[in-house]
Structure 1
Amino acid sequence: MKIALLGYGKMGKVIEKIALERGHEIVLRKTRDNSFDGLENADVAIEFSIPDAAVENISQCLNKNVPVISGTTGWLEEYHNIVKLCEEKKGAFIYGSNFSLGVNIFFELNEYLAKMMSKLDQYKVSMEEIHHTQKLDAPSGTAISLAKGVIENSNYSSWALSDAKDDEILIDAKRIENVPGTHSVFYDSDIDSIEIKHTAHSREGFALGSVVAAEWIIGKQGVFTMKDVLDLK
């Protein structure tokens, strides 16, 4: 499989390592200093860049009929436009706030727990996410996905970074050196507390998941998620 890497920072380099180990070839390493030349030769693109570059990167892929996997967060106000473009071009696209296989299992556990707790009003939900200081968006896309998972299965309506109202989930976003990513969901009452937690030990889990998604999407058409890739639906 020929892969275009759109974004060649720390994540891009780890994705390259995993992809080469799995027998794939890298045909483009896109940075801010070079062009999209060679993208048309790729079987699939994996996009981990920055919020300001993501929409252009994904659009270039869809316009060139290259399936694209995107793990960049912080650009989702444009998500509906990308979905529309994907449908118009009959392309293939996966966005994931987190491609770690373990985190996607954690997403499912989070939704299941939210359903179980939805009628127990004595418990207040809150979340904590910890990332490295280079992460540009807060809260993380993973934390937002976790919050949405609770909101869709409970009486909560939104989330907040501070001064959360009764129907809002408080997300405490912390930035600490050399932390790949830790996410916790808390249910607290006067009597006891319940906590579920996922801790990433390195970037390799995110990289592996994105390469697995790239392998899966070849030959497909449409807009998908990691639930499709892992057959969790």
Structure 2
Amino acid sequence: MLHIEPEKRKDAAARMALLNEADVVFLCLPDAASKEDVSMVSNPNTKVIDASTAFRTHPEWTYGLPELHKKQRKQIQHSSRVAVPGCHATGYILAIQPLVAEGIIAKDYPASCYSLTGYSGGGKKLIAEYKNSGQEQLSAPRPYALHLNHKHLPEMKFYSGLDAAPIFKPIVGNYYQGDAVTFPLSPRMFTKKATAKDIQELLAHEEGVLLVSRFDNLGKGASGAAIQNMNLMLGFDEGTGLE
């Protein structure tokens, strides 16, 4: 593992030297800082795994969601630039994309989605707010991104197979970790007749359909997904270090 002296963290030359010396680089930075660091990498053998939103829909980067489709895992294995998916996006895409691929719902389906998440997904500032503030209003779930412009929307549209991003409403709860990404579906809007028996491998429904993706956002969120992708890129078992 390579280290940089604290006083040199803003020294571009020092950062560049370490970036190009590393076999694998994990970037956990704001978008602008990630783009700056990536631009410094000239060593063709350096593999970069980025956790920001900067490269998730970039054509020269591989989306780090091995379960997306049959070819995705192999693409990650052979890639030197992998973008780690957002936690909300992971739950949404893995449930919606198979329905689009199987022709159950049309590409112009008007999807909506809400996601309940633990506060660890908001990073250091939000974690500190929940742990230290003692504010009574934090005890109840709080909707956020009320302008409907959440940063995960581009990848949710790009990889779901739908023509548009969903109307997306994230909610942060007073617990540390875990996501429940939920989206209702209307069978009357399916592109072909599908009974519960017909689509039980993909869905289970009565009069309506409610999909819920439940997962640990620290396990299948940015940190765990980054390790999974590193394992694939280096030829290890993808579950190494994630037990």
Counterpart code for 2:38: I
1:174–1:194 CA distance, 2 compared to 1 (3 A): same
Query: Structure 1 residue 211 and structure 2 residue 227: aligned?
Result: yes
Partner of 1:172: 169
Closer, same or farther in 2 for the Cα pair 1:208/1:96, shift >3 Å?
closer
1:50 to 15, 30, 51: 30
The amino acid of 2:82's aligned partner reads I
Number of aligned pairs? 168
Query: Which of 148, 164, 189 matches 2:158?
Result: 148
- Shift in Å at residue 45 of structure 1? 0.7
Give the corresponding residue for 2:43: 64
**CA displacement, residues 61-101 of structure 1 (integer Å, 9 cap, x when unaligned):** 3x23311011212x359935x65xxxxxxx8211132489x
In structure 2, distance between residues paired with 1:52 and 1:201: 27
Counterpart residue type for residue 98 of structure 2: Y
Change in CA separation of 1:212 and 1:189 when aligned onto 2, cut-off 3 Å: closer
How far apart, in 2, do the equivalents of 1:70 and 1:32 lie? 23
Tell me the TM-score normalised to structure 2 length.
0.52
Of 85, 93, 96, the residue aligned with 1:110 is 96
Q: Measure the CA separation in 2 of the matches of 1:208 and 1:176.
A: 21
Q: Measured at CA, do residues 67 and 173 of structure 1 come closer, stay the same or move farther in structure 2, by a change above 3 Å? A: same
Q: Aligned to 2:184, which of 160, 183, 186? A: 186
Q: Label 1:211 to 1:130 Cα distance change in 2 as closer, same or farther (>3 A).
A: same
Pick the structure with more strand per residue: 1
Deviation at 1:134, TM superposition (A): 2.9
Query: How far apart are the structure 2 equivalents of 1:179 and 1:39?
Result: 31
- Distance change (3 Å), C-alpha of 1:47 and 1:117: same
Unaligned runs of 5+ in 2: 62-78, 127-144, 189-205
Distance 1:196 1:149, change over 3 A: farther
Q: Give the structure-1-normalised TM-score.
A: 0.53
- Distance in 2 (CA, whole Å) between partners of 1:56 and 1:170 is 32
Supply the RMSD in Å over aligned alpha carbons: 4.2
Separation in structure 1 between the aligned mates of residue 7 and residue 99 of structure 2, nearest angstrom = 42
Shift of 1:55: 0.7
Q: 2:112 aligns with which of 121, 126, 142?
A: 126
